[in-house]
Amino acid sequence: MGRRKAYMDDGGDSSDEERGRIHFDITEEDLEEERQGFSGVRKRKMFDDSSDDEATPKGGLGSGGWKTGGTTLFEPAKKSSTPEPQKVASPKRKNAFASASSSKPEPGFAGFSKHTTGFGQKMLEKMGWAAGKGLGAGGEGIINPVETKLRPKGMGMGFKGFDERTAQAKAEAKKQSTMRGDDSDQDQDQSEGDSGDSDDSGHKKKPGKAVKREAWKATAKKARKPKVVYKTANDILSEIIEKAPEAQQKVIDMTGPTIREVSLADIRTSDSPTFMETTTRLPELRHNIRLLVDLARGDLENLSREKQANVFRLQELDKELVDIQKNMERDTSQKKRVEEIKNIGVQLERISRDSMATGAYASGNITSLFGEYFEILETKYMDEVKSLGLDSMVVAVWAPILKYKCVHWDVLDEPTWGVDDVQRWRKLLRSNDDRDEFGDLIASKGVNLATPYETMMNTIWLTKVRSAINNRWNVRQPEPLIILLEAWKPLLPRFIFENIINQLLLPKITTAVSDWDPRNDPEMIHSWIHPWLPILEPWRLAEIFTNIRQKLSVVLRQWHPSDESALHIIIPWKQVWTASQMEMFLTKCILPKLTQVLRTEFVVDPQDQKIEPLVWCLAWKDMFSTTIIGQLLEHEFFPMWLNMLYNWLTQPRDQVNYDEVGEWYLWWKAVFEEFGLCSHKTVSQCFRKGLDMMFMAGNGQPVIPPSF
């Protein structure tokens, strides 16, 4: 073989796998020898071993004919002016055969030697073939044989742009593209013409460097080079901002030799590199350019994010600026209001000092002295009164006057003094009992610190009231203190009111009840206890009520129902004590006495009836429940009454005056009707039994005795 020159590939047609591989140049002599090898021309005999100089062909339609013993069996086909197409872009295969059958056969095609027996021809004729027609039953097959183009020995597919197509295939492709109106093959032929004519081995006939061709690639049409359009940084930033949500989403790219992470924005703006792109020319340069592009894109994305963050920050700063301006305006307005409040405080101090000097404070009228400025505070500066604690300023000018007046104040004679002033300016006198707009106590963190108003009332006002209650107040004259507490209850702090009740009033009332003697005391206890009910409420006096019931129980042990004073003492407590307490007390102390009177002192006598014991018992009917009073009459009175009626009616008929019986019956009904018991269920049933007995006796029937 010819001389070969080794060289290192510098990347002209290299790949990542071929980097550093040694290649060799192929000369014209090498290609010629390889063509002879591919065409079957060898310096050896096929049938005659004695001839070493003549080349005996191996045979085949495309190798110049098949010879046997020097005789040619088939004549070689000549090149057709219309080559057989390699590919036909037709939707149906039948059209391809139709185009092949429409071509004219080459001269001498399918000709057989006159020295040979037409074995092949005879076989084809038996199958319906005729010379000059295409193969197949309908003649739609090919007429000319398929041309072949041999590749030089050792040459790979598409090596250095070697064209695999034959002239026949090129001509047929050009014909088919002309029929479709497609210029792709014409462009390709044009490009081939521009690159220079090539021989069958794929090398140019003209001297010069071979032009690289990539015939093995399916490039139907040479793409026109697109116009380069450059993007500015602002355009890229706009696209990144628009696709910011997508840019954050990462995708794992496994199409290349290595795994890498890309974003959706990268995939949509530019195609992801494929395996072929990573294995083409200049991989280092492409890699470096890609790195530079990625770095530039990253910088642009960072700048975009920074710009967006700065925009958001600017918006926040604008909002903060607006808030600061509002706060500044509010602070300026607040400062102005504080200056006005300061002037009001100076005026109040001046009035207080002048009143002390002139003696005007002796009247103790707060409204006449400070009403003008208090009115301004209440109407215009109520928010500052809560936030700045201006109630201390109000108390500061109020307390000296209250202290002076309390020295000369008679609590029992003037219990309502000062109520009008405190009630008028109560909004300026804050207390822990007051609720703010959030429903929370004024005192913070659960620690109730006394307000100025609470301190003033506890140290000045309460001191005077405590002295009056302990030293001068009579428990049996509750009216002055009742008036005092009724007037001051809604104005006083809660702890001061509870202090008066628990520490001053209740202990003194409890002591008075303990000293009370129901037998000898001419004054009814309810007359000086019940007035306290609206102020103290029954639950506060429960212990006192228990003490009163115990004292009454002891006295009632010696009591007789004929003494009506007990009824007058107990009746006022019916609405004060609970129903269960009253019923238990009457059942234990009163009911046994009434039962004993009816059993021992009352007798039913139609001739000389004494009704007083029954009247003593019926006087308590409103104190007992209807059930208890009904049981008392059913078990104690009506058995005697019905027995008397039965004995009267069972006497001989000539001795019974039924008119007197009827009058006696009606008289008793009138007695019970006078006490309002005639409609009582038990009373009605008992009178019904007496009426039935009278009816049976009047009709001469035997009278049935009453049963209980």
Query: Is it the case that residue 307 has pLDDT exceeding 50?
Result: yes
**Mean pLDDT along residues 62-82:** 39
* pLDDT given for residue 527 in this prediction: 93
The mean of the pLDDT values for the chain is 76
- How many of the other CB atoms lie within 10 Å of CB of 549? 18
**Mean pLDDT along residues 375-381:** 91
Backbone phi and psi for residue 590, each to the nearest 5 degrees, phi listed first: -105, -45
Token duo for residue 63: 């190798």
Query: Is it the case that residue 508 has pLDDT exceeding 90?
Result: yes
Q: Please, which residues have CB within 8 angstroms of residue 400's CB and are 6 or more apart in sequence? A: 352, 356, 361
Q: Please, which residues have CB within 8 angstroms of residue 114's CB and are 6 or more apart in sequence? A: none
pLDDT in tens, 633-680: 999 999 999 999 999 988 888 888 889 999 999 999 999 999 999 889
Q: How far apart are CA 383 and CA 378, in angstroms?
A: 9
- How many of the other CB atoms lie within 10 Å of CB of 357? 9
Query: Is it the case that residue 361 has pLDDT exceeding 90?
Result: no
- How many of the other CB atoms lie within 10 Å of CB of 236? 17
**Mean pLDDT along residues 329-341:** 91
* pLDDT given for residue 684 in this prediction: 93
* pLDDT given for residue 20 in this prediction: 43
| Cα distance between the two ends of the chain | 154
* pLDDT given for residue 674 in this prediction: 92
Among 63-72, 110-119, 373-382, 482-491, the minimum mean pLDDT is found in: 63-72
* pLDDT given for residue 495 in this prediction: 93
Give the pLDDT band of residue 72 (cuts 50, 70, 90): very low
* pLDDT given for residue 386 in this prediction: 87
Q: Percent of the chain, pLDDT > 70?
A: 67
**Mean pLDDT along residues 176-205:** 50
435 vs 279: which has the higher pLDDT: 435
Query: Is it the case that residue 556 has pLDDT exceeding 70?
Result: yes
* pLDDT given for residue 329 in this prediction: 93
Give the pLDDT band of residue 169 (cuts 50, 70, 90): confident
The DSSP string of 573-636 is: GTTTS-HHHHHHHHHHHTHHHHHHHHHHT----SSS---HHHHHHHTTTTTS-HHHHHHHIIII
Among 81-85, 123-127, 170-174, 231-235, the minimum mean pLDDT is found in: 81-85
Q: How far apart are CA 323 and CA 574, in angstroms?
A: 68
Give the pLDDT band of residue 277 (cuts 50, 70, 90): low
- How many of the other CB atoms lie within 10 Å of CB of 502? 11
Give the pLDDT band of residue 244 (cuts 50, 70, 90): low
Residue among 412, 424, 328 at smallest CA distance from 371:
424
**Mean pLDDT along residues 562-579:** 92
Backbone phi and psi for residue 227, each to the nearest 5 degrees, phi listed first: -75, 130
* pLDDT given for residue 101 in this prediction: 43
Query: Is it the case that residue 55 has pLDDT exceeding 90?
Result: no
Q: How far apart are CA 321 and CA 484, in angstroms?
A: 58
pLDDT in tens, 93-102: 444 444 444 4
Residue among 263, 218, 260, 275 at smallest CA distance from 239:
263
Give the pLDDT band of residue 266 (cuts 50, 70, 90): low
439 vs 229: which has the higher pLDDT: 229
**Cα atoms found within 13 Å of the Cα of residue 378, Cβ hemisphere only:** 14
**Mean pLDDT along residues 220-247:** 69
Among 125-134, 162-171, 546-555, 688-697, the minimum mean pLDDT is found in: 125-134
Which ranges of 181-274 would DSSP assign to H, the alpha helix? 184-195, 233-242, 244-247, 264-269
Query: Is it the case that residue 492 has pLDDT exceeding 50?
Result: yes
Residue among 280, 99, 122 at smallest CA distance from 179:
99
**With the CA atoms of 617, 623, 629 and 632 taken in that order, what torsion angle do they form, in degrees rounded to the nearest 10?**
-50
* pLDDT given for residue 560 in this prediction: 93
* pLDDT given for residue 504 in this prediction: 94
What is the distance, to the nearest Å, from the Cα of residue 570 to the centroid of all Cα atoms in its chain?
Answer: 64
This prediction's pTM: 0.54
Give the pLDDT band of residue 54 (cuts 50, 70, 90): very low
Among 424-428, 526-530, 578-582, 704-708, the minimum mean pLDDT is found in: 704-708
* pLDDT given for residue 516 in this prediction: 93
